């Protein structure tokens, strides 16, 4: 250890040349003696598995049994997912489902962990060694030594030689993520193609536009200049299943501008009614609700990542990460003056990913 003590006290017992005994010249670094001798490594004590072939085989059996047990745990989790489905009406089914899937996953993970630890402690080489620090990058000799170490580790761990352990470990590691694949698939609709499902909404010809959340239909005369309404399809509240999913796709923003301020695309002439326009409320970036309307500029703002859409110009993107305009819902009025949809959206709502399908 370096010491820059310049007090002249003899720390080393070594007299520097040209100085009186017990003194070090100013600025001379001296090395203090270690207070204790380095005892080095304790003598290597072989383990029972190093000297008793029967104990070694027993340890090997334990290790591969644990890895096979992990495979059983993974399969159990998948089977439990199918045998104990979640019934939304029955809370006990949720508990059963979580309990048995959890037990399977716990067994799978624990068995891999315990097996790996036991393999390392009982069968892999336990010789201690010192790995000196070296500059980065290593020299060709160092790299050659690294390869040598890997080969040595392979020999000592028996990874190449102990085929049963190696193969069972590989099998356990491959099987372990499978429950996650099955569980993730369960998040999507089971009996229909998710892409088809997400490409359509509840809107169809003649569906009245209703106020969110009351569900009261909206008359064109109620939409005053500069106002904005959060809108759902009439009848949405009557859905017994999938209400939230249907609402998440169908929500719409309704605004009224002066007809002369609207710059409509030729192919969309007739999609608005007397300056009233309806656009999907789901941001085309990553699907947040576009909830802020700036009446003076006719801009819609998505609060998530600040995408802005220009309502006067068919909701084109004027700022932010969204890649395409908000889809427009074609509207008109029925005989009683209520606003109704002319059809569903003509393109998928939500993040741009769905436009590719």
State the residues that interact with ligand FES by CB under 6 A: 283, 285-286, 288, 302, 304-305, 307, 320-322
Closest among 204, 186, 202, 210 to 239, alpha carbons compared: 202
Distance, CA of 206 to CA of 196 (rounded, Å): 22
> Smaller CB distance to ligand FES: residue 275 or 320?
320
Nearer to ligand FES, 208 or 285 (CB): 285
Of the pair 216, 306, the CB lying nearest ligand FES is at 306
Give every CB contact of residue 272 below 8 A, 6+ residues apart in sequence. 259, 262, 264, 331
Please report which residue ranges of the chain form alpha helices under DSSP H: 48-51, 53-83, 91-118, 140-157, 163-175, 178-185, 194-199, 243-250
Q: How far is the CB of 353 from ligand FES (least distance, A)?
A: 13
Long-range contact set of residues 250-253: C-beta below 8 Å, sequence gap at least 24: 250/201, 250/202, 250/203, 251/212, 251/280, 251/281, 251/282, 251/289, 252/209, 252/278, 252/279, 252/280, 252/281, 252/329, 253/228, 253/229, 253/278, 253/279, 253/280, 253/281, 253/290, 253/293, 253/300
Alpha-carbon span 200 to 94, nearest angstrom: 30
* CB nearer to ligand FES: pick between 223 and 349: 349
Cβ proximity to ligand FES: between 72 and 286 the closer is 286
CA–CA distance, 136 with 146 (Å, rounded to integer): 13
Q: How far is the CB of 287 from ligand FES (least distance, A)?
A: 6
Least separation in angstroms between residue 307's CB and ligand FES is 3
Q: How far is the CB of 346 from ligand FES (least distance, A)?
A: 21
DSSP state of 337: S
- The CA distance from 249 to 142, in Å, is 60
Q: Please, which residue, 204 or 305, has the CB nearer to ligand FES? A: 305
| CA angle (113, 114, 118) in 5-degree steps | 120
First to last CA, the chain: 68
Residue closer to ligand FES, measured from CB, 322 or 331: 322
| Residue 254 beta carbon to ligand FES: minimum distance, rounded to whole angstroms | 19
Closer to ligand FES by CB, 70 or 280: give it: 280
Least distance from ligand FES to the Cβ atom of residue 351, Å: 8
Whose Cβ is closer to ligand FES: residue 233's or residue 350's?
A: 350
Q: How far is the CB of 301 from ligand FES (least distance, A)?
A: 9
Distant-in-sequence, close-in-space partners of 315: CB < 8 Å, separation ≥ 6: 279, 300, 309, 325, 326, 328
Question: What's the closest the beta carbon of residue 233 comes to ligand FES, in angstroms?
Answer: 22
Q: Find the shortest distance in angstroms from Cβ 318 to ligand FES.
A: 12
Place of tokens 């009439």: 234
């Amino acid at each position: 250890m370096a010491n820059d003590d310049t007090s002249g006290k003899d720390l080393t017992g070594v007299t520097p040349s040209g100085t009186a005994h017990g003194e070090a010249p100013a600025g001379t670094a001296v090395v203090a003696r270690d207070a204790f001798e380095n005892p080095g490594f304790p003598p290597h004590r072989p383990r029972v598995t190093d000297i008793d072939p029967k104990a070694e085989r027993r340890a090997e059996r334990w290790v591969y049994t644990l890895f096979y047990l992990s495979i059983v745990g993974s399969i159990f989790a998948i089977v439990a997912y199918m045998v104990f489905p979640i019934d939304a009406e029955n809370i006990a089914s949720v508990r059963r489902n979580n309990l048995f899937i959890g037990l399977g996953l716990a067994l799978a993970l624990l068995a891999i962990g315990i097996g790996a630890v036991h393999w390392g402690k009982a069968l892999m080489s336990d010789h201690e060694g010192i790995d000196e620090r070296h500059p980065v990058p290593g020299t060709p000799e160092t790299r050659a030594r690294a390869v040598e170490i890997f080969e040595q580790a392979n020999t000592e761990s028996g990874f190449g030689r102990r085929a049963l352990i190696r193969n069972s470990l590989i099998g356990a590691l491959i099987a372990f993520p499978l429950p996650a694949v099955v569980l993730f698939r369960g998040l999507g609709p089971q009996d229909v193609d998710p892409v088809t499902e997400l490409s359509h909404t509840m809107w169809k010809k003649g569906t009245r536009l209703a106020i969110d959340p009351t569900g009261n239909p909206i008359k064109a005369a109620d939409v005053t200049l500069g106002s904005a309404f959060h809108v759902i399809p009439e009848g949405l509240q009557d859905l017994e299943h999938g209400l939230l999913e249907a609402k998440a796709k169908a929500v719409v923003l309704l605004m009224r501008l002066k007809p002369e301020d609207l710059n409509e695309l030729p192919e969309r002439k007739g999609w608005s009614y007397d300056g009233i326009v309806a656009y999907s409320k789901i941001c085309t970036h990553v699907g947040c609700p576009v909830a802020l309307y700036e009446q003076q500029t006719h801009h819609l703002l998505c609060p998530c990542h600040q995408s802005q859409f220009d309502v006067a110009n068919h909701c084109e993107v004027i700022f932010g990460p969204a890649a395409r305009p908000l889809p427009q819902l074609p509207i008109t009025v029925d005989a009683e003056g209520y606003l109704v949809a002319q059809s569903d959206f003509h393109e998928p709502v939500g993040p741009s990913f769905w436009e590719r399908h």
